[in-house]
Structure 1
Amino acid sequence: MRALSSLRWKIALTTTMVCCMVAAALGILVHNVVARQIVGEVRKEADGDLDHALGHYEYGTAHGDVNAALDPPGLPEQLRQLVARGDTGSMVGRHEGKPVMWAAAPADEHALAVWIPYEETRDRLRDIDAAILASSVLAAGVVALAGLFLADRISRRLTTTAAVARRISAGDLDARVDFPADGDTRASAGEDDPRPARSRDEVRDVAHALDSMAGSLQDRLEAEKRFTADVAHELRTPLTGSLAAAALLPEGRPKEMINDRLKALHLLTEDLLEISRLDSGVEQAELARVELGRAVRRAVAATGLDASVRVLRDTVVLTDRRRLDRILANLLVNSHRHGAPPVEVTVEGPVVVVRDHGPGYPPALIEHGPQRFRTGDPGRGRGHGLGLTIVAGQATVLEITLHFANAPDGGAVTTLRLPVGRLTEGS
């Protein structure tokens, strides 16, 4: 959200800066053109007065109604030097403390100069500059608001798309981007928009790509779930028959080996069936009040695996005892199969922590969670990645928060946090 908000302000600021640069360039251009025109008119008037004064000077008559004098004290030095070289010129200066436009020409070793008031012209130029500045500020403000509005629309649509992407990554594959009609875009559920595109819309393209990806991913996962369920159901009947037939074999090492492999395959099939039921989303927990510390001790003892149990603070929770036992049993089996002793189980209020002292969980499992048929480190023992997948599925049914991590001094740490809203503290 911060990144998108930053994008909104960046677009608005960039638009405003471009507007200010264009306004400044146009203001300077207009100022130069208008100033050249106005000053040119005043200079032309001063040159006319100078010609009039020169005519009167040649005939030895009065200068008439123009302000003229020989070598006036206020004549700018630059203009005085220009006249001394025999040239005629004009420039802005001051006379008796007031701004004037000077015009001077040589007259018998003297400088004949005229001056006309320039204060009104200067005020006029200042008024024009103020108008240009006000117009630029107004234009920049309007463009900034328009840019902020457009950037906000883009930002809100990107925020919606990002939120849907996060929901999809969290497992909600039914999430889709749905822009309102006034945005001229509408991302349908994995299908192309039937309405003809009126203009190129990159955000709409991103939304369509996201919806298409989610739809494709959902189809593949559904196909995988159906395949898993079908395989498990198809294997269950022949496996049951095979186990019964194996029981009729004569005692000996061959029978033990066959029974061992058939039982392993039977457990794998039952795990697949359980996963398919969890994937279907129809599993319902049979909730009852359970003393968490006592339930954990019983579940650990029932596995027959070596693990210590510490109850720092017991509590009564509303949960499904059978599903909780299944979660703890799978975690202990995983700790003994892929970790190393000692295996420790700690109960503190609604939190249960299972820890071993092995190499820990692989980074991919911590980042993405357990995935079926991936063990992360096949070299450390047999496994199909189904145990932790079942743990995650059963935790979802019980609304238990599940967290996988590694201890700083080594070992895998699994934390189960039961919903606080269902708790009644006990002794």
Structure 2
Amino acid sequence: MRLRPPAWTATLTWKAALFITVMCCALATLLGVLVHVAVTRQTVDNAREKALTKLGDVTRLYEAGDRLPPGAGLDPPGLPASLRALAAEGRRGTLVADHHGRPTMWAAGPADGGRAIAAEIDYSQGARTIDGLDRAIAGSAVLAIGATLLVGAFAVTRVTRRLHQTATVARRIGAGDLDARVGDPRTKDPSRAQDEVATVAGALDTMAATLQAKLESEQRFTADVAHELRTPLTGLHAAAELLPPGRPAELVRDRVQTMRVLTEDLLEISRLDARREQVDLDCHPLGPLAERAVRATGTDTEVRIVREVCVETDRRRLERVLGNLVANAHKHGRTPVLLTVDGPVLSVRDHGDGFPAYLVEHGPQRFRTEGGAHGHGLGLTIALGQARVLGARLEFGNAAEGGAVATLTLPYVPEEPGCGAAE
């Protein structure tokens, strides 16, 4: 089983904090090593110079036959073996080693008889200096990393907060709220320098404003066309009623009626697009309401009530949604058509070829057809728009046994008070 890191590790804040920490640690380590090496070299060089000076003095005393001072002698105990061997070869050298439990700087050189003359000085102060420096470097590095993390987290959080705000506005626009804007103050002053986040926010606001203007223009055009069509259609309808009975008159009346329905649908869609619809909420039992909606379509549709509930909804709009779904099932599917009421969930199923793949995936699209097939017109689009006004969820799918299934889920609070019989 492959383990995945937690979701929060994918955030920009966490990545920036990790990057800052790694870079601070690397920089602190590099600087610490450089300072440690430089100070250690200087301390050791000073101690070596003192040890060699003392060794020179001791050598002159030895050659003069004088008594050697404390901390010097021929082959003294504790002299490192490497220095003893170096002196035996006729060379001088120094080495730091522990002697009697404390750091000691040894200096040794050749003496007669293959012996080594050596001098020692206490190196404890130098060792303490280096240890104190290392602790100071480590403490300073921790403080510097902590301070850098705090400052970096503050700076990164400001950027990520603005990015989250921009993403939230983008999602609101995608959900249909075209009035949503980021409104970054940096974009309102052209003379002010803008960073990349402000540029993205400004571009998003410009795109939203352009899209809103274009959609509102199209909505006004649709509404204006529908309104303008009403007058000539009314005249055509009146003229068609005056035609003598016969097949031509029936065809004219049928086409005029179709155009009138289409015009009313366009007007309804323009109102839904404007998002100014107001719902008239009241409590209604869903079973009788569904039966009334089916009777209004004049179709042979079975209504099956699995579980009866009362919901607070707009009866007229709900009947419109159910009527459109039932009419679409009869028009584009095959009988039998079944409307099922199961609590606040209502489903309409036919036994045709099912919804096309694009409709199941993306929802209904106005007048769209594929491969020369008959399109779905505006009925499903209106049903989806009215469902959103009701706060309901309308989903489209296909049954495993065949046939299209439209499922409407209404907002529901159990035991809704004051729910009486349907009118």
TM-score, normalised via structure 1 length: 0.88
For residue 36 of structure 1, give the secondary structure of its aligned residue in structure 2.
Answer: helix
Correspondences of 1:51-130 after superposition (within 5 Å) = 51-64=56-69, 66-108=70-112, 109-130=114-135
The separation in 2 between residues aligned to 1:340 and 1:100, in whole angstroms, is 102
Q: Deviations over 1:148-199 (max 9, x none)?
A: 11122122111111111111111111111134xxxxx445xxxxx235223x
2:29 pairs with one of 24, 29, 52: 24
> Gaps spanning 5+ residues in structure 2: where?
1-6
1:269 pairs with one of 256, 263, 276: 263
Match in the other structure for 2:385:
393
Q: 1:197 to 1:22 in 2, by over 3 A?
A: same
Pair 1:208 & 2:202 matched: yes
2:225 pairs with one of 217, 231, 246: 231
TM-score, normalised via structure 2 length: 0.89
Q: Which moved more, 1:413-422 or 1:201-210?
A: 413-422
CA contact (8 A) 1:315 1:426 kept: no
> Displacement, 1:5?
7.4
CA contact (8 A) 2:186 2:192 kept: no
Q: 1:130 to 1:357 in 2, by over 3 A?
A: farther
> Displacement, 1:368?
4.1
> Displacement, 1:410?
4.4
Q: 1:333 to 1:252 in 2, by over 3 A?
A: same
The separation in 1 between residues aligned to 2:107 and 2:333, in whole angstroms, is 101
Pair 1:171 & 2:176 matched: yes
The separation in 2 between residues aligned to 1:358 and 1:73, in whole angstroms, is 106
Correspondences of 1:346-361 after superposition (within 5 Å) = 346-361=340-355
Q: Where do 4+ consecutive residues of structure 1 move more than 6 Å?
A: none
Match in the other structure for 1:141:
146
Match in the other structure for 2:156:
151
The separation in 1 between residues aligned to 2:331 and 2:21, in whole angstroms, is 63
CA contact (8 A) 1:314 1:426 kept: no
> Displacement, 1:251?
4.7
Correspondences of 1:191-202 after superposition (within 5 Å) = 193-198=188-193, 200-202=194-196
Equivalent residue letter for 2:192: A
For residue 61 of structure 2, give the secondary structure of its aligned residue in structure 1.
Answer: helix
CA contact (8 A) 2:368 2:375 kept: no
The separation in 2 between residues aligned to 1:303 and 1:271, in whole angstroms, is 16
Equivalent residue letter for 2:374: G
Q: Which moved more, 1:295-304 or 1:318-327?
A: 318-327
For residue 11 of structure 2, give the secondary structure of its aligned residue in structure 1.
Answer: helix
Pair 1:301 & 2:290 matched: no
Q: State the Cα RMSD in Å.
A: 2.5
> Displacement, 1:267?
1.8
Pair 1:45 & 2:50 matched: yes
For residue 57 of structure 1, give the secondary structure of its aligned residue in structure 2.
Answer: helix
**How many pairs are equivalent?**
412
For residue 420 of structure 1, give the secondary structure of its aligned residue in structure 2.
Answer: coil
CA contact (8 A) 1:16 1:147 kept: no
The separation in 1 between residues aligned to 2:64 and 2:354, in whole angstroms, is 114
> Gaps spanning 5+ residues in structure 1: where?
180-184, 188-192
Match in the other structure for 1:416:
408
1:402 pairs with one of 394, 397, 415: 394
Q: 1:419 to 1:345 in 2, by over 3 A?
A: same
Match in the other structure for 1:323:
317
The separation in 1 between residues aligned to 2:39 and 2:337, in whole angstroms, is 88
Q: 1:405 to 1:160 in 2, by over 3 A?
A: farther
Q: Deviations over 1:42-70 (max 9, x none)?
A: 11111111111111122121223x52111
> Displacement, 1:19?
0.9
